[in-house]
Amino acid sequence: MSQHHDHHDHDHHDHDHSHAPAKAKAHSHDHGHDHSHGHHHGDPNTMGRAFAIAIVLNTVFVAIEFFYGFLANSTALMADAGHNLSDVLGLMLAWGAAILARRTPNGRYTYGLRSTSMLAALFNSMLLMAACGGIAWEAVQQLVHPEPVAGLTVSVVAGVGILVNGFSAWLFMSGSKDDINIRGAYLHMAADAAISLGVLVAGVIVRYSGWNWLDPLVSMAIVAFIAYSTWSLLKQAMRMMLAAVPDNVDRAEIEAFLRSQPEVSEVCDVHIWAMSTTETALTAQLVTPAGYPGDGAIDAISRQLREEFSIQHSTLQIRLGTGSQECCLQPAPH
């Protein structure tokens, strides 16, 4: 007999107990136990306001920064404007994905629309890479054909950038402790403030030394920084889309934890994947020779997976047996 218990914990608690039809087994019985837990990351209204304010502020600043960068003939300023524009698009994507991720599951989308946050991350990283190419090309042109740079204008605009990005980072600070998605926005804004500081310093040096070549060099350094951070984001987004074990999850440690549970002799068919940029799911078979350990024990394991390993959704199947029989998925023969 297979028995499945589904627990859905969202804004309220409701319990739906469904029993699968009996399934004949030669020498074992399977008990599936499923836990679905809604995971809250800060106040959605507060984060919504933070996204809205940061998007408006950064959009206005991008327009000002690009305009004055063009007037001052500063590729560093225009590079920073391009970077900030990608940040605005990234914030919009993250905000939209956060809204869609709260959509309740339905008959066709049984996971809801959680994975839109992964699509947003993938699209945003590809967009950033394309922007890097354009900024680098402009910087090379400036190095080959150097032209005077208005260092004072660059410094003033970059100073405004420090204030705008610093304030935007502060808006996301409260939610960054619990939500990795919000933390990403917070760190990105803080990094932008640091980049603006670099542009400001370069502008001051150009103003008093006349080293116009320093400006495109700073823009190249900005491009290198963006490309480095974006490459890791691109890889992580690709891994998520391919249902790989998330970077912040240690599969070996989780398997060792499951094997250490009382009455569990073997752990099979372990699958860990990202449901969104903030939620991780796990399925596994636990072989127990002594019999079904009971709902209380399975609830305790699921709770520990959630609290200690950040596995918000776990489905554990109990398999009676010695563990010697084959229970893991094997690759198809070629």
Q: Which CATH number do you get for residue 93?
A: 1.20.1510.10
One domain, residues 142 and 224:
yes
Residue 176 has a pLDDT of 62
pLDDT in tens, 257-299: 999 888 888 898 899 998 887 788 999 999 988 777 778 888 9
Q: Are residues 19 and 48 in the same domain?
A: no
Same domain, 199 and 309: no
Residue 253 belongs to some domain of the structure:
yes
| Residue 176 shares a structural domain with residue 258 | no
Angle at 213 between CA 207 and CA 217, to 5 degrees: 110
Q: Is 43 in contact with 11 (CB distance < 8 Å)?
A: no
Whether 288 and 194 map to the same domain: the answer is no
**Are 288 and 204 found together in one domain?**
no
> Of 210, 241, 272, which residue is a domain's last?
241
The domain boundary, picked from 206, 241, 276, lies at: 241
Are residues 19 and 64 both part of a single domain?
Answer: no
Establish if 12 belongs to a structural domain: yes
**Is 216 found in the same domain as 83?**
yes
Q: According to the model, what pLDDT value does residue 184 have?
A: 67
For residue 55, give the nearest of 234, 185, 223, 179 by alpha carbon. 185
Cα separations in angstroms, 6 against 18, 34, 254, 286: 7, 5, 22, 18
CA angle 138, 140, 145 (to 5 degrees): 95
Hey, which bits of 143-292 come out as E strands?
Answer: 266-274, 280-288
d(CA 229, CA 288): 45
User: Is residue 32 domain-shared with residue 151, that is, in the same domain?
Assistant: no
Position 212 in a domain = yes
293 and 191, same structural domain? no
User: So what's the pLDDT on residue 273?
Assistant: 92
Collapse the DSSP code of 140 into the 3-class scheme (helix H, G, I; strand E, B; otherwise coil) and give the result.
helix
Domain that holds residue 92: 44-241
pLDDT of 3 reads 39
Looking at the fold, whether 267 and 206 belong to one and the same domain comes out as no
Residue 234 lies in a domain: yes
Measuring CA to CA, how many Å separate 116 from each of 142, 225, 249?
Answer: 39, 26, 21
Task: Give the pLDDT confidence score for residue 1 in this predicted structure.
Answer: 37
Look at residue 326 in the predicted model and tell me its pLDDT. Answer: 55
Say yes or no: 82 and 189 in one domain.
yes
CATH of the domain at 260: 3.30.70.1350
Distance, in Å, from the CA atom of 310 to the CA atom of 294, rounded to the nearest integer, reads: 23
CA distance 176 to 278: 12
Which residue did the predictor score with more confidence, 189 or 54?
Answer: 54
What is d(CA 134, CA 130) in angstroms, rounded to the nearest whole number? 7
